[in-house]
Amino acid sequence: MLRYLTAGESHGPALTAIIEGLPAQLPIDIAQVNHQLWRRQQGFGRGYRMKIESDTAEILSGMRFGSTLGSPLAFTIANRDYKNWITRMSPTGDRPEDVAPVTKPRPGHADLPAAFKYDFSDMRDALERASARNTATIVAVGAIARQLLAQFDIDLCAHIVQIGEQAASRDTLAGLSLTEIAERSEESPVRTADPEAEARMLAAIEEAREQGNTLGGIFEIVVSGVPVGLGSYAMPDRRLDGLLAGMLMSVQAIKGVEIGLGFAAAKMRGSTVHDAIYHDPAKGFYRTTNGAGGIEGGISNGEPIVVRAAMKPIPTLYKPLPSVDIHTKETYLAAIERSDACAAPAAAVVGENAVAWVIAQAFLDKFGGDSLSEVRRNYESYRERVRERS
């Protein structure tokens, strides 16, 4: 079983993760992990925190001379801003008298429900862990997982299809290959492959920033090279679509997930939703459409997996909403932490690596072994059986 645990607070000493279940002999390029962390910090609309942190992962265990050992892999990502928070966030010692508690919950954050759940009188005890700063560990974990996927020619691309009310043209995107979408979005400050939409998105973000407001967006992730047979219909918790949706919904500020045609399918007739099956002696079974988004009955069907996620606007506003002090019950304007005018382009990178993790889990669930060579033998044996039946 491939699994991970993370720990760390937004302004604590470091973020930490432990991955268990990676096969031995898997080459890991830490520069690729750090590149994904860098991508997460880019994008028009990001806040001041991105100028403070320059994230890099430091491997502590589970690797030797650039390859995994089959034992748990542990790494840390230092919080460079911790030096300014030592008195307020020290893991040990007594609380200084001059450290005031956070008592004004911010609408849209975990502050108030967490205060009730964990009986906190200082909501900083909740908001530090609930912070989207912790998506850095998700990105790093996914960046390691995608290096496993790359061994089997599985690739991912994430791009923005909408920010606020400004959407990329479906016709423009339909005319591009996956490689072109990846290249264009990587060069775009809002991670979109539609240049005309990019200009409108930039203007919308700037307008929201000037108003002390925030914007959300929708990003799409496409996974190519996924073999047929990942996931299962046998139990609900093994369905690949359910695993993907659950992982993406666990990312901060994500409020909706759809696969393939998604919600649009509810407005269409079945004859235009489902993907007809054809056969050719040379290439076997194939489809000419992909409304299912690469998943049928909870199982990958060999087509590219297409999943979209909707991100709400960041709830920390520089013109804050009304709130109520949890101790005095007096009305205040909500507390302000550092915020982004729009973090959707960064969320696309988080989502991309989160999806990589789920695909890697499903891949090892199907083809797992103790070493990379054993996984490869299992994979090639399965592919040969599928080819024989096609």
DSSP 3-state of 259: strand
| pLDDT at residue 49 is higher than 60 | no
Burial zone of 60 (CB within 10 Å; 0-12 exposed, 13-18 middle, 19+ buried): middle
Mean pLDDT, range 69-76, rounded to an integer: 98
| pLDDT at residue 311 is higher than 80 | yes
CB atoms within 10 A of CB 138: 25
| pLDDT at residue 181 is higher than 60 | yes
pTM given for the model: 0.95
Provide the pLDDT for residue 318: 78
Q: How far is CA 271 from CA 261, 268, 288, 300, in A?
A: 13, 8, 14, 21
Provide the pLDDT for residue 268: 97
**Please, are residues 278 and 187 in contact by the beta-carbon 8 Å criterion?**
no
**Helices assigned H by DSSP within the chain:** 30-40, 49-52, 86-89, 111-118, 124-130, 135-150, 170-174, 178-187, 195-210, 240-249, 270-273, 344-367, 372-389
| pLDDT at residue 332 is higher than 90 | no
Provide the pLDDT for residue 390: 85
Q: How far is CA 93 from CA 15, 84, 87, 96, 119, in A?
A: 20, 17, 10, 9, 21
Q: How far out from the chain centre does Cα 198 lie?
A: 22
Nearest Cα to Cα of residue 389 among 303, 285, 233, 276: 285
* Per-residue tokens: 31: 């520069």
Element (H, E) at 296: strand 295-296
Question: Over pLDDT 70: what percentage of the chain?
Answer: 96
| pLDDT at residue 286 is higher than 80 | yes
Q: What are the pLDDT digits (tens) for 188-199?
A: 999 999 999 999
Mean pLDDT, range 351-380, rounded to an integer: 98
Query: 240-249 vs 344-367: helix axis angle to the nearest 10?
Result: 150
43 band by pLDDT with thresholds 50, 70 and 90: confident
Mean pLDDT, range 258-275, rounded to an integer: 97
The amino acid occupying position 9 is E
Nearest Cα to Cα of residue 26 among 293, 318, 273, 368: 368
Provide the pLDDT for residue 52: 58
Mean pLDDT, range 52-59, rounded to an integer: 85
Mean pLDDT, range 39-59, rounded to an integer: 77
The phi and psi torsions of 140 (rounded to 5 degrees) equal -65, -40
Q: How far is CA 261 from CA 267, 295, 297, in A?
A: 10, 11, 15
| pLDDT at residue 172 is higher than 70 | yes
Provide the pLDDT for residue 44: 82
| pLDDT at residue 363 is higher than 70 | yes
Q: What is the DSSP letter of 66?
A: T
Query: 30-40 vs 135-150: helix axis angle to the nearest 10?
Result: 130
Mean pLDDT, range 372-387, rounded to an integer: 97
* Per-residue tokens: 150: 């790359």
**Please, are residues 154 and 359 in contact by the beta-carbon 8 Å criterion?**
yes
What does pLDDT average to over the chain?
A: 94
Q: What is the DSSP letter of 31?
A: H
| pLDDT at residue 335 is higher than 70 | no
63 band by pLDDT with thresholds 50, 70 and 90: very high
* Per-residue tokens: 241: 């679509």
Q: What are the pLDDT digits (tens) for 114-163?
A: 999 999 999 999 999 999 999 999 999 999 999 999 999 999 999 999 99
Q: What domains are defined for the chain?
A: 3-389 (3.60.150.10)
Q: Looking at the chain, how many residues does it have?
A: 390
| pLDDT at residue 330 is higher than 90 | yes
The phi and psi torsions of 215 (rounded to 5 degrees) equal -130, 145
Mean pLDDT, range 226-242, rounded to an integer: 97
